[in-house]
Structure 1
Amino acid sequence: MEQRDPEQDGGLRSEIWEALYDFFLAEHERNLESVAELGVSPGDLKALMRLVPGQGEPMRALADMWRCDASTVTWIVDRLEKHGYVERQAHPTDRRVKVVVLSGHGEDLRARVLRQLHRPPAALSELSQADLRVLRRLSARLKPEDG
């Protein structure tokens, strides 16, 4: 059995995480640029990724989910509604509460955005099939249990 040095393990984990984090940040910038071509702002992107097609979300729940204040949610929802991507509707059991629902146009945009975001980065093309299989196996182990 392999002996583990906690100090060495910590340094190795830090080195790996730094490389992954830098990679994800660079890819995030690429993603923002690619969806900007579709007319999607960073706030719009966050909203489109968090709204589930066919499911309404109360404005307060959106503020909690997006970790922002209610006025920011109102601003983002106003913008998306103006473009026809979302609709405000009455809550099914509490008419005092407004829920936000993706419109058909919003669901189409969300699907296009997801296709853009799920395009593999060029860096993966530089890896061998063996490396890709190892990366797939390891990344599956890193996936959150609820995700």
Structure 2
Amino acid sequence: MSHDPQMAARVWRGLRTLVLERYDRRKEVTAALDMSFIRAKALRHLAAAPMTMRQLAAVLATDAPYTTLVVDDLVRRGLVVRDVHPDDRRQKIVTATPEGEKTAEIAERILGEPPPPLLDLDPADLATLDRILATLVK
């Protein structure tokens, strides 16, 4: 299989433009939830499964002090609770509250909404793109 680095770069630029510039849903999420995207991202992860502070910092790629600030704010909002880990009393585990799960669902709904150009694609083109993306993200 031959590789065309220029074509690959053009495709990559197109994907970045589509997702991160023209249809960046992060702004919609921050406006709808009235919180920074990193807080929304943390909440989405916590709604999926409780995590230790260390695990959360790793998935957010943030340091411990900043992760603590994020969690403190989510606790203040009533969206998560922080408890002593049942298996290791030296660690804290953070769990989404029912209100936090509802808020995370709003974020997921916004982030999951396909942009109009994707909805307008010819069905065969959409199927081809689906197949290609499934290969790329496996």
What TM-score do the two structures reach when normalised by structure 2?
A: 0.88
Q: Secondary structure at 2:33's aligned position in 1?
A: coil
The reply to whether residue 62 of structure 1 matches residue 66 of structure 2 is no
Q: How far apart in 2 are the matches of 1:76 and 1:27? A: 28
Which residue number corresponds to residue 113 of structure 2? 119
Runs of 4+ in structure 1 over 4 Å off? none
Which residue number corresponds to residue 36 of structure 2? 41
Give 1:91's aligned amino acid: H
Which residue number corresponds to residue 85 of structure 2? 91
Which residue number corresponds to residue 65 of structure 2? 71
- Flag the structure with more relative contact order, 1 or 2, with Cα contacts below 8 A and sequence separation at least 6: 2
Given that 2:23 and 2:115 are in contact with CA atoms closer than 8 Å, whether structure 1 keeps it comes out as no
- Aligned mate of 2:18, from 12, 23, 28: 23
Q: How far apart in 2 are the matches of 1:130 and 1:80? A: 43
Which residue number corresponds to residue 99 of structure 2? 105
Unaligned runs of 5+ in 2: none
Larger radius of gyration: 1
Which residue number corresponds to residue 138 of structure 1? 132
What TM-score do the two structures reach when normalised by structure 1?
A: 0.83
RMSD between aligned residues: 1.8
